[in-house]
């Protein structure tokens, strides 16, 4: 059986970005990525992509109440649990899309408390219309239905 490579098995990844240059610029300036739903299980997609990003010099901050730590970094139960002085450049969401609006509400509350407005990235088939609307109404850059690992890899070429 021929199993397609991860990057080739992402039809949704062909969605046009709101601004390719903007995404490239934001990723090039980023150094810290909070990953909501990051798992310590090496067989989970979130772990694979988090590990790729870590190996490409990003600091990965796990946000998952079911984990104590991932990749040697303390895992936080929620966005609200993150220290206020921890600067986040990108928030990558790995949760079922039925939770995406709830995650956005948590991010908005955290943002109001800390004054930060990181890029919000929802992985393939993770976004919802409500989540996108919440992000746009609150002034966040928002990427939906794209794999951060695939896009990072593509932009490095």
- Assign residue 144 the CATH number of its domain: 3.40.50.720
Label residues 43-63 b or e (16+ Cβ within 10 Å = b): eebbbebbbbbbeeebbbbbb
Q: Does some domain include residue 47? A: yes
- Angular region, 19: left φ>0, alpha ψ -120 to 50, beta rest: beta
Residues 17-59 pLDDT 10s: 456 667 888 888 899 999 999 999 999 999 999 999 999 999 9
Q: Does some domain include residue 93? A: yes
Integer distance in angstroms from the first to the last C-alpha of the chain? Answer: 30
Question: Whole-prediction pTM value?
Answer: 0.86
Q: Into how many domains does the chain fold?
A: 1
Q: Does some domain include residue 127? A: yes
Q: Does some domain include residue 69? A: yes
Q: Does some domain include residue 13? A: no
Range of the domain at 75: 19-155
Q: Does some domain include residue 3? A: no
Residues 94-115 pLDDT 10s: 999 999 999 999 999 999 999 9
Q: Does some domain include residue 9? A: no
Q: Does some domain include residue 5? A: no
């Amino acid at each position: 059986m021929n199993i397609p490579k991860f990057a080739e098995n992402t039809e949704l990844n062909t969605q046009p970005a709101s601004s390719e240059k903007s995404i490239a610029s934001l990723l090039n300036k980023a150094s810290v990525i909070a990953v909501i739903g990051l798992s310590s299980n090496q067989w989970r997609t979130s772990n694979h992509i988090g590990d790729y990003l870590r190996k490409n010099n990003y600091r990965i901050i796990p946000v998952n109440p079911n984990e104590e730590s991932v990749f040697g970094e303390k895992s936080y139960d929620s966005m609200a649990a993150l220290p206020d002085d921890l600067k986040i450049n990108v928030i990558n969401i790995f949760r079922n899309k039925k939770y995406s609006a709830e995650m956005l509400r948590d991010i908005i509350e955290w943002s109001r408390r800390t004054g930060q407005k990181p890029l919000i990235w929802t992985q393939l088939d993770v976004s919802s219309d409500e989540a996108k609307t919440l992000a746009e109404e609150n002034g966040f850059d928002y990427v939906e239905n794209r794999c951060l690992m695939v896009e990072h890899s593509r932009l490095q070429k």
